[in-house]
Amino acid sequence: MDNLLKPNSAQSVQTPSASHTPIVLTVAGSDSGGGAGIQADIKAISATGSYACSIITALTAQNTCGVTGVLPIDQSFIEQQFDAVLSDIAIDVVKIGMLGDAATITTVANALRKYKPSFVVLDPVMVATSGDVLLANDAISALITQLLPLATLITPNIPEALALLDRSKQQAPTDDQQSMLLAKELFELGANSVLLKGGHQTGDSSTDFWISKDQQQNFSSTRINTKNTHGTGCTLSSAIASYLAQGQDLPSAIQSAKNYISSAIKHADQLQIGKGSGPVHHFWAQAK
């Protein structure tokens, strides 16, 4: 994986060697409860064998019961974090999570255009568990026009997919065929590939639908009955980024990440964290 970071500036950026450590940069908000956001990203990247760097886009006051406050990070400081990390560390993959507003989306998009990482995994954090849309219309528009074309893969769940396509929740897919059609419509928005997550569906299995320019594939696993699923989207997208950093191709990275998140959910009830919806067990393998 040579020449993975190709900056278009005069800054000196380290180039990965053939035997370098796989490194993922996560760009997201902080979850003070530790179950999602930057904290979940770092846990998932570490648990799956890569090294995690981070750029924090917002601070949140939250726990397993909900979010009680959000403090955005100044745009100039987000830029400073990008420059600090990417001027020194050979990043293989950039993973993007919560961005919050149009200004932050623009700042992140500008940084990606400046440093040109080879792989970008975008988890469009747009809809809360309650169903509330977290991004204003101008931010959703900025996400579509500025970030989707730069993303190797986007990983929306069904509510996020509907928000991106300006659909109501009554238009959610009810079967596999409709889900794949929804993924195709997302692909036509300009992303290089789409993984539509099926966790919000019902039934005995959870199926994700992947489509790229010349491939499509379903990834299924047994649905696990637990309330402790906080941070599943962050964890899955970070694991995909981690496996990409280790040299797996995209379908293999998705399958490996799907296996990892399924086991993390399966073992989630071994943890006793908080009074609400607890986190998945990121380090289930190491706890054996």
Element (H, E) at 237: helix 232-245
State the catalytic residue, choosing from 29, 35, 97, 233. Answer: 233
State the catalytic residue, choosing from 152, 234, 235, 278. Answer: 234
CA-based nearest residue to 265, from 242, 246, 244, 239:
239
pLDDT of residue 16: 44
CA distance between the termini of the chain:
33
CA-based nearest residue to 258, from 215, 185, 214, 207:
207
Give φ, ψ of 32 to 5 degrees: -65, -20
Torsion of the alpha carbons at 62, 68, 72 and 73, rounded to the nearest 10: -40
Per the annotation, the verdict on 234 as an active-site residue is yes
Per the annotation, the verdict on 231 as an active-site residue is yes
pLDDT of residue 174: 85
State the Cα–Cα distance between residues 195 and 120, nearest whole angstrom. 13
pLDDT of residue 128: 58
CA-based nearest residue to 154, from 39, 241, 217:
241
State the Cα–Cα distance between residues 123 and 38, nearest whole angstrom. 12
Per the annotation, the verdict on 15 as an active-site residue is no
State the catalytic residue, choosing from 197, 207, 235, 278. Answer: 197
Write out pLDDT tens, residues 109-167: 999 999 999 999 999 987 655 455 567 788 999 999 999 999 999 999 998 999 899 99
Structure tokens at 53: 């760097």
- Residue ranges, the chain, pLDDT below 70: 1-19, 127-134, 199-203, 288
State the catalytic residue, choosing from 26, 60, 207, 232. Answer: 232
Structure tokens at 273: 């964290």
State the catalytic residue, choosing from 33, 34, 231, 278. Answer: 231
* Beta-bridge partners for 56: 28
Q: Which CATH superfamily is domain 23-268 in?
A: Ribokinase (3.40.1190.20)
Per the annotation, the verdict on 49 as an active-site residue is no
* Beta-bridge partners for 210: 195, 217
DSSP-H helix ranges across 37-173: 37-47, 75-86, 102-115, 137-142, 158-164
CA-based nearest residue to 279, from 64, 98, 68:
64
Beta-sheet strands, E only, within the chain:
23-31, 51-63, 66-72, 93-96, 119-122, 153-154, 193-196, 205-212, 216-222
State the Cα–Cα distance between residues 152 and 243, nearest whole angstrom. 14
Per the annotation, the verdict on 203 as an active-site residue is no
Per the annotation, the verdict on 232 as an active-site residue is yes
State the catalytic residue, choosing from 35, 229, 235, 278. Answer: 229
**Is the separation of the CB atoms in 95 and 67 below 8 Å?**
no
pLDDT of residue 231: 92
State the Cα–Cα distance between residues 96 and 120, nearest whole angstrom. 7
pLDDT of residue 15: 42
